């Protein structure tokens, strides 16, 4: 079965320190990978995506993610965390291409990031 | 920047009542989706819609659910007879291919 795992329910990091939010996936073929952020009572905001090419992807607000095919991972990183980065982060995978008119996403369970001042 | 618009932002309904959640996707997008999120939990796929028909649906999307694109701009999700467990945040999304734009969601509360 296709799945996405975010093994940490919560990540705490001090402001100014680097942060990593982990994501691994189990999807056949060549998946497309995404990170979204959700602030309280808000929708899902796109951060970045990996489709093909360079394994290191840069996105919004200084975030980046590294695609590692051998480890089937797509961890989200930021060199220096801000208090305003505190939010719920979702990793999502699309199995790649359309089979019948769909680019369905499979979401991870989310990781709550708390940046401490 | 183009947006996906969802209305209403919050709907309270009595159990057994029908609700219609509305979405206006981005105009040149071809693929449309509904997802739901039960209070801060995992975001779950409900249905995808392409070329004026459902292209894929999940096991959550049973006979109580239906989708429609009635006029070429709106995209609606109808729940025929709501249950308490339908209480969730419902997100509409649209895409050209694999990069979605999500709406800000409709919080449905069934009492």
Amino acid B51: pLDDT: 87
The C-alpha atoms of residue A99 and residue A110 are separated, in whole angstroms, by: 26
Contact B42 A106 (CB under 8 A): no
Cα Rg for chain B, rounded, in angstroms?
13
Domain ranges of chain A: 3-97+104-116
**B15 located within any domain:** yes
**B101 located within any domain:** no
Residue with tokens 């990978």: A33
Is the model's pLDDT at B24 over the cut of 90? Answer: yes
Of A36, A45, A100, the CB nearest to B55: A100
**Residue B36: enclosing H or E segment and its boundaries?**
strand B31-37
Mean pLDDT of chain B: 92
Amino acid B64: pLDDT: 96
Instruction: Report pLDDT digits (tens) over A29-81.
Output: 778 899 999 988 778 899 999 988 889 999 999 999 999 999 999 999 999 99
Contact B43 A90 (CB under 8 A): yes
Amino acid B54: pLDDT: 93
| CB < 8 Å & 24+ apart, contacts of A55-62 | A59/A35, A61/A85
Amino acid A96: pLDDT: 63
Residue B80 distance to chain A (closest CA, Å): 24
Mutate one of A52, A102, A109, A111 to test the B interface: name it (highest B CB count within 10 A).
A102
Is the model's pLDDT at A98 over the cut of 60? Answer: no
CATH for the stretch A3-97+104-116: 2.60.40.10
Domain housing B41: 5-94
CB proximity B73 to A under 8 Å? no
**B107 located within any domain:** no
Q: Which residue has the higher pLDDT, A97 or B58?
A: B58
Instruction: Report pLDDT digits (tens) over B40-50.
Output: 788 999 999 98
Report the relative pairing of strands B10-13 and B106-110 from DSSP bridges: parallel
- Weakest-pLDDT range from A96-100, B8-12, B14-18: A96-100
Amino acid B65: pLDDT: 97
Number of compact structural domains in chain B: 1
Which two three-digit tokens encode residue A86? 């505190």
Residue B98 to residues A70, A79, B93: CA-CA distances in angstroms? 23, 28, 11
- Weakest-pLDDT range from A13-17, A25-29, A104-108, B96-100: B96-100
């Amino acid at each position: 079965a296709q799945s996405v795992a975010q093994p940490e329910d919560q990540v705490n990091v001090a402001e100014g320190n680097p942060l990593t939010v982990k994501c691994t996936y189990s999807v056949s073929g060549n998946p497309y990978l995404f990170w979204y952020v959700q602030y309280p009572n808000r929708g899902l905001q796109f951060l970045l995506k990996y489709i093909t090419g360079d394994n290191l992807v840069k996105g919004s607000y200084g975030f980046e993610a590294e695609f590692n095919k051998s480890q089937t991972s797509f961890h989200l990183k930021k060199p220096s965390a801000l208090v305003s980065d505190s939010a719920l982060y979702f990793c999502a995978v699309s199995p790649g291409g359309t089979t019948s008119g769909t680019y369905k996403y499979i979401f991870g369970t989310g990781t709550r990031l708390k940046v401490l001042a | 920047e183009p947006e996906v618009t969802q209305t209403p932002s919050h709907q309270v309904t009595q159990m057994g009542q029908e609700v219609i959640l509305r979405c206006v996707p981005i105009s040149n997008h071809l693929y449309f989706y509904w997802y739901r999120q039960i209070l801060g939990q995992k975001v779950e796929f409900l249905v995808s819609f392409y070329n004026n028909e459902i292209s894929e649906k999940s096991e959550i999307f049973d006979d109580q659910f239906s989708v429609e694109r009635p006029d070429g701009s709106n995209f609606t999700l109808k729940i025929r007879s709501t249950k308490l467990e339908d209480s969730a945040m419902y997100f509409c999304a649209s895409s050209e291919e694999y990069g979605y734009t999500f709406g800000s969601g409709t919080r449905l509360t069934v009492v």
